[in-house]
Homo-oligomer: A and B are copies of this chain.
Amino acid sequence: MTNELEFLKAHSLSSLVRRELEKLILSGEFAPGERLNEYVLAARFSVSRGPVREACRALAEKGLLDLVPNRGVFMRKIDEGHAAALYDVRAGLFASAVRLLASRITPEQLSALEDLLRRMDDAADRQSLDEYYPLNLEFHDSLMRFAGNSRLHSLYGELIKELHLFRERALLHDGGLAVSNAEHRRIVDALRARDAAAATEEAFNHVLSGKARMAIHDTHESK
């Protein structure tokens, strides 16, 4: 039995609302560009508008919501250009984590990654995106965690959440699974060899390949 009172004492109402609202957003409850009514949200969570406002401000700061003065909060609408930019940032963070990890990876971490590789191979053989997807997520998250830099890890997680807002196309088309996992394997191989430069390169290109697989075109920011 989880004691909810204990949870309430540790976290304030604002943070609870924030967590709940974030879940709603990521679950696709609201359409992109849709306006969120503070009053309605407050009623939905049975709190006053204060905590709702604070939660919205926090989520806007994280990039999940747009804030327009005197107009309200809107679901962030991510276009191709933004998604492409986010992918580039993500590639940089991922490559950086892999680079750090190359010099300090342990045998246990290596075997954990190799285990994930095998399971992803199985899923790819079966063309099962439903199996592959969570494993892929865990693979990336493990790498970030192993890098031993919590800030890097959390930054990456926020980026992933933000990218979830952009879901216009399928994440991977069937043929991509094997290709994607082959890239994973090259990263792990470089890590095992403790070749920081090669691992960095493979990691960076892996994310950029993912961007290409999503058919996101690089609209170079004009301004």
Please give the residue numbers on chain A whose beta carbons come within 8 Å of chain B beta carbons, in ascending order: 10-12, 14-15, 50, 53-54, 57-58, 61-62, 69-70, 82, 85-86, 88-89, 91-93, 95-97, 99-100, 104, 148-152, 155, 197, 200-201, 204, 220-221
Q: Is the pair A149, B61 in contact by a Cβ cutoff of 8 Å? A: no
Give the contacting residue for A96; candidates B89, B150, B221; CB below 8 A.
B89
Task: State the CA gap A217–B129 with chains docked (Å).
Answer: 43
Contact flag A151-B89 (CB < 8 Å), given A53-B54, A54-B54, A61-B58 = yes
Give the contacting residue for A149; candidates B57, B88, B152; CB below 8 A.
B88
Task: State the CA gap A69–B54 with chains docked (Å).
Answer: 14
List of B residues within 8 angstroms of A96 by Cβ: 88-89, 91-93, 95-96, 204
Q: Is the pair A220, B148 in contact by a Cβ cutoff of 8 Å? A: yes
A selection of 5 A-B contacts at a CB cut-off of 8 Å is A57-B58, A85-B149, A89-B93, A92-B96, A148-B220
- CB proximity of A222 to chain B, nearest CB, Å: 9
With CB as the reference atom, state the residue of chain B lying closest to A201: B197
Q: Is the pair B220, A88 in contact by a Cβ cutoff of 8 Å? A: no
Task: State the CA gap A20–B116 with chains docked (Å).
Answer: 48
- CB proximity of A66 to chain B, nearest CB, Å: 14
Give the contacting residue for A50; candidates B50, B82, B197; CB below 8 A.
B50
